[in-house]
Amino acid sequence: MAYNFAKRLVDRGHHVTILTSNLLTSTARMSRKTFEDNKDGIRVVYMNSPIRYHWTAITPSLFSFCRTELRDFDIIHFYAYRGFMSAVVAWYAKKYSVPYVLQSLGTVPILVRSKTKKYLYDHIVGFKMLRGARKLIAKSYLEKNHYLDVNIPEEKIAIIPNGIDVSEPIDGLRKGAFRSKFNINDSEKVILFLARIHKRKGLDLLVRSFARVDIENARLVITGPDDGFLKETKDLVKKQGIEGRVVFTGPLYGREKFQAYMDSDVYVLPAVQEIFAVSVLEALLFRLPVIITEEFGIAHLIKDRVGLTIPYEVSALTYAIERLLTDQALVEYFRVNSVELLKEHFSWDTHVDSLEKLYGEVLNGA
């Protein structure tokens, strides 16, 4: 998201610096020092993180960067809420009177894990950051409500969704390559889950629902990196007695990920409190009918136009999967609408227009 916005802003003549850490994986760093790179005209500064707390980077060199460079920027855009880097930069932004906008990426509510720590962060640092922002960016109406729930004035909130390139998918993809790699027959119906394997993504609901799907040649494919819920998911698959019908691929990226969409029949993401998911847009790019929960931030755009929206219930999800695997007329209707919906609501250029306008309003004191 940050790259796609930054690249288009650079193309419009703006100077963009992305400040991030040098964390590469949950256990490795890209280097042992702070370094810079240039990505398509974007200056990227990778701050060394000799200490970390899970994925939170502790970057001592950030202090010197802020003291020497921060006051030279016209505006700061946070793609984060809780974290060391955000807290430090926000403090210096206030000190040097540099205006900033903040995009929490759905992290304002305290939903799972480390609830006490998040509560303390919010009351010591986080709420001051939110109040200090000139504008707060939400990707959907659901995220807007997250801000309203912590008493942010509505006039400070702007809705700017993610986008997606709506041109044809990557050239050279070969239909059947994904199925061949994972030993899935052409005659089988593939239900694809592609996201982080996290409790909030609704995998327990999906596994229980799929176990009740009364279609013999249906296969469930679970793709994504483990985010703390892989063992529980595999245990539940075993408990439900459906091991032979479920495929775990691990994380897939780039072309391999797109091959998975190409070779699937339905995309399902029954997540809880999901403000936005690029994977849903990617599925639509490949004209896959989708199933999401009613709590999804873009459910009102998806419902009955390109997919089905359901309550968070086993019976509802089971019915939705069976319907999309058997009702070919409905599937074709959804397929026809997919790219039209993407062009109408999720064009990158449209959203960059909105972001550029928002920056202008902030700089003009609005």
Segment 98-147, tens digit of pLDDT: 999 999 887 887 766 678 888 898 899 989 999 999 999 998 888 888 99
Domain 2-163+348-363 has CATH 3.40.1160.10: no
**pLDDT the model gives residue 212:** 97
**pLDDT the model gives residue 162:** 80
Q: Is the dihedral of CA 48, 52, 54, 57 positive or negative?
A: negative
Enumerate the H helices of the chain as residue ranges.
2-11, 61-69, 84-96, 115-121, 127-132, 141-149, 177-181, 203-210, 230-239, 254-262, 278-285, 299-302, 314-326, 328-345, 348-363
Domain 177-345 has CATH 1.50.10.20: no
Assigned token pair, 318:
């089971």
Instruction: Using DSSP, state whether 282 is helix, strand or coil.
Output: helix
Q: pTM for the complete prediction?
A: 0.75
Q: Mind listing the pLDDT tens digit for each residue in 246-291?
A: 999 999 988 899 999 999 999 999 998 787 788 999 999 999 999 9
**pLDDT the model gives residue 247:** 97
**pLDDT the model gives residue 148:** 93
Give the Å distances, CA to CA, from 23 to 33, 46, 53, 198, 212: 11, 9, 11, 20, 41
**pLDDT the model gives residue 166:** 66
Round to whole Å and give the CA distance between 234 and 240: 10
| Domain boundaries of the chain, sorted by first residue | 2-163+348-363, 177-345
Taking 70 as the pLDDT cut, the residues of the chain under it are: 26, 111-113, 166-169, 366
Strand order in the sheet with 246-250: 246-250, 218-223, 189-194, 266-269, 290-293, 307-310
